[in-house]
Structure 1
Amino acid sequence: MIHYIHEMVWGPWLLILFLGIGIIYSVKTGFFQIRKLAYWWKETIGSIQEEDEEGDKGDVTRFQTACTALAATIGTGNIVGVATALTAGGPGAIFWMWVSAVIGMMTGYAETMLGIRYRYKDKSGAWVCGPMVYLERGLKLPALGMIYSFLCIMVSLGMGSMVQSNSIAETLKYSFQVPTPLVGIFLTGLVCLVVLGGISRIASVSERMIPVASGIYMLFSMVVIMSCYDKIPYIFHVIFKDAFQPVSVFSGAAGFGISKSLQYGISRGVFSNEAGLGSMAVLHGAAENTTPEKQGMWAMFEVFFDTIIICTMTAFVILCMTEGDAAGSGYDGAALTAFSFSKRLGGLGEYVVSGSMLVFAFATIIAWYYLGKQAAGYLAESLKKRNILYLLQRILRGKIYTLLYLCAVFVGCLAKLETVWEFSDIWNGLMAVPNIVALIFLMKEVKVPK
């Protein structure tokens, strides 16, 4: 039953929504993400040193919020998701992952820009930002904002914490024979130390962790890819050839078919970079000394870096080491990625994948805590205004949500999560619907720099 619901939620209709809204914004802005690449690159990565000089001590900078957003997006999707897309959808899935990323850059820009435009400070002086805010204040649909908040909380407790902590526990058990209860205790304590420091500490840890971990992963990926550089033209040929061959077709509710490479490429691309889910709008909300346009361009950079760079490197490592036939290797998921790295780097390859999984998953856990905390605070305040569900208000407020999140992290280390994974993926897909509704009806408010 759960699997059937999952297939319905992540069916062709949702993929068309993701593609459609990205295409509309791309056309509306004259493909700003391509036409003005040099400009937004200079305004993001090119402005880091200038930002450090201008920022006040204690502020959450634009770069820190970008790293926090990358912490939420760079994770198992870049290692497990890419491998699954290749085995289930073929090499062509990577082409459609690129497509989803290019148009998703404008979706990420739009939702982040709207988030910064409509954000406000609560009684404690903290920023409240995200789709729930622009659904309430921009679209005048507070009920839809509350629904989004609830779905975001469910994703944070499932995909954001339990699934990620389970990946950490399984990796440490498989690679280093560390008992899962011990992993659960240590990981929960470590997460607690970070998240109790609030967004400032989460952003600070992400700023140090993500560039280093991504750099190491990219370095070893390039070593593997360049060791067989002569295969690269063939890999490109296989990707483009397979992308337009509907070898296997599934039927949607409307009775139409779509190739598996397109299905898995787009769905795994969205799973990895989260463009369209609205999560980036929440994570960028704490940035100081910024504008909606500047923060929107940082969101564009994140989608580009996550999918076009990191996911592509993973894909090329796998395709180079399997001669373009990932499905024929006999492996899937993280095992396929580890196999591909190990084939060229030996035992070091397995440690590269294991280490990357650990760091990326931990970064995702701390970033999704902030996402869930923001959603919980918003929902609690909305319920208080309507004087309803007092008990739920208490649960969502303050330390109770933190306790629930830490419990989810610990339980995730011990549990078998097949059902939790599918449930979380369902919440993930549903979370996109109210956000896309807002992106459609608030389209006139989204502008790009000239």
Structure 2
Amino acid sequence: MESLIPALNAIDSFMWGPPLITLLVGTGIYLTVRLGLIQVFKLPTALRLIFSAKNQGKGDVSSFKALCVALAATVGTGNIVGVATAVKVGGPGAIFWMWVAAFFGMATKYSEGLLAVKYRSVDEKGEIAGGPMFYIKNGMGEKWKPLATFFALACIGVAYFGIGTFPQVNAIVDSMEISFGFPKLAMDAILTFFIAAITIGGLQSIAKVASKIIPFMAFLYIAISLGLIVADYSRIPEAVSLIITDAFTGQAAVGGFAGSTIMMAMQTGIARGVVSNESGLGSAPIAAAAAKTKWPAEQGLISMTGTFIDTIIICTMTGIALVLTGVWQGDAAGAAMTSAAFASTYGTVGSSILTISLVLFAFTTILGWNYYGERACIYLFGTKGVLPYRLIFIVLIASGAFLKLEAIWILADIVNGLMAIPNLIALLALSGVIVAETKKYMEWRKEQGEN
């Protein structure tokens, strides 16, 4: 695998070069303008809907559980390892570009959730089937079916070889061995057993686990991050100033840090941000489609909060911690860098809590991506493809502990890019539908006396 790194790097640089970054952020900007800054003016409404949505209409799970499945996939190692990797390569300025991508990504995520419900259908087992492959085929027409097929294949690729398996398994077994001396082989066996037991139960089983773990792990991580930040609160303005100025000036080499350019900060910040919150990838709408709602725009608003929670809150916590403590200038990288930041405030207890957070984040990401890949598999092969898909997924989880981190992240970036392209094309093509559905829902809310 190591011998492939130069070739993978070349493909990754091309994939995440100016064309895809422009398409990702450009789509978000375009939708933001057409939707009248919906991520600003309707965010309070969206946050209230997480808990107050009526859950009326067809669907397999509540809107809250659909959001938890989506967050299970997005709140993962990207929030801890990915942010650290971005800051290590692109400097503190990478955090600013994460914010920019997330801000416009909220409009993208809203649109994805809306279209998922608008064009969802029912599979052979009577379960809801939705996501970009359905809004491409049902919304854009049969002649676009090859694009839907391409998306489904790329989705399985991400589930098998990207975010869904190797980076998460690698993070779990490595962090457990480093923090608690837990043998890699034993941890991998335990992980594989639990993943197999839960995923065989399908969406209901995954949603049940996700809705229990996600709120707990998000609260735990935010609490320890806030503790670290408050402990050094006097330097917060300085840290934020460094993040913003570095985004436009680059950073000279200091300590173990190799130095960065503006383009490097922008590229790593946006790429890692997208890996973390998945806005534009088309993954979250697969979960959103299963929500019990009769209003596509309602689920769009709830979906939008996923990007806000994942990047604007959780990734920011990690980024501020890395800059405040100065660990980004040292020799540590990835999870070790974030661990060093927490250890500087909490000692070994901080590293242990971070490890538990990382394990929970990574575990739920595996569950979420197993579901996404399975839905894509059903679209391509029908329900008969589910068992082979699950068996291959479990085998990949079992083997994921023995692959090197660098090659894994590069591969994850590449397959993410392949998945994003057909989805972004569909969002642009169906933007008129998105605007019309939004207007219809907002008028209905006004009639109900709600804002």
**What TM-score do you get using the length of structure 1 for normalisation?**
0.90
Distance 1:341 1:354 in 2: 10
SS in structure 2 at match of 1:286:
coil
Q: Deviations over 1:309-348 (max 9, x none)?
A: 00111111111111xxx44222221111000000010001
Q: Deviations over 1:257-301 (max 9, x none)?
A: 952222222111111100000001111121123421111011110
Q: Deviations over 1:386-440 (max 9, x none)?
A: xxxxxxx96xx12111100000100002333543442332111111000011111
Partner of 1:318: 322
Distance 1:55 1:67 in 2: 19
**Unaligned stretches of 5+ in structure 2?**
1-6, 253-260, 443-451
What number of residue pairs does the alignment pair up? 421
Cα pair 1:74 1:364 within 8 Å, conserved: yes
Distance 1:79 1:106 in 2: 24
Distance 2:61 2:381 in 1: 25
Distance 1:372 1:309 in 2: 27
SS in structure 2 at match of 1:294:
helix
Cα pair 2:131 2:285 within 8 Å, conserved: yes
Q: Answer with 338-347 or 327-336: which moved more.
A: 327-336
Q: Deviations over 1:26-78 (max 9, x none)?
A: 00111111122322222234x16x66xx799x951100010110010001110
Distance 2:166 2:273 in 1: 21
Partner of 2:313: 309
Cα pair 1:273 1:307 within 8 Å, conserved: yes
Partner of 2:258: none
SS in structure 1 at match of 2:293:
coil
Distance 1:114 1:55 in 2: 16
Deviation of residue 3 (structure 1)? 1.6
| CA-atom RMSD in angstroms | 1.9
Distance 1:266 1:108 in 2: 15
Distance 1:417 1:312 in 2: 23
Cα pair 2:339 2:350 within 8 Å, conserved: yes
Partner of 2:71: 70
Distance 1:246 1:173 in 2: 35
Cα pair 2:91 2:250 within 8 Å, conserved: no
Partner of 1:147: 150
Counterparts in 2 of 1:122 and 1:55: CA distance versus 1, 3 Å = closer
Q: Deviations over 1:189-218 (max 9, x none)?
A: 101111111101100100000100110111
Distance 1:203 1:239 in 2: 36
Distance 1:304 1:435 in 2: 20
Cα pair 1:96 1:262 within 8 Å, conserved: yes
Mapped pair 1:188 → 2:189: no
Counterparts in 2 of 1:350 and 1:266: CA distance versus 1, 3 Å = same
Cα pair 2:99 2:312 within 8 Å, conserved: yes
Q: 1:43 aligns with which of 49, 57, 63?
A: 49
Counterpart mapping for 1:199-218 below 5 A: 199-218=203-222
Report the residue type matching 2:42 in the other structure.
K
Report the residue type matching 1:15 in the other structure.
I
Partner of 1:171: 175
Counterparts in 2 of 1:59 and 1:4: CA distance versus 1, 3 Å = closer
Partner of 1:4: 10
Distance 1:211 1:346 in 2: 25
Report the residue type matching 1:147 in the other structure.
F
Partner of 2:390: 402
Mapped pair 1:33 → 2:36: no
Deviation of residue 88 (structure 1)? 1.6
Partner of 1:98: 99
Q: Answer with 62-71 or 134-143: which moved more.
A: 134-143
Deviation of residue 111 (structure 1)? 1.2
Mapped pair 1:109 → 2:110: yes
Distance 2:50 2:408 in 1: 36
Mapped pair 1:282 → 2:270: no
Q: Deviations over 1:144-165 (max 9, x none)?
A: 1111111111110112012211
Partner of 1:429: 417
Partner of 2:3: none
Report the residue type matching 1:132 in the other structure.
M
SS in structure 2 at match of 1:147:
helix
Distance 1:78 1:421 in 2: 14
Cα pair 1:65 1:287 within 8 Å, conserved: yes
Deviation of residue 246 (structure 1)? 4.6
SS in structure 1 at match of 2:36:
coil
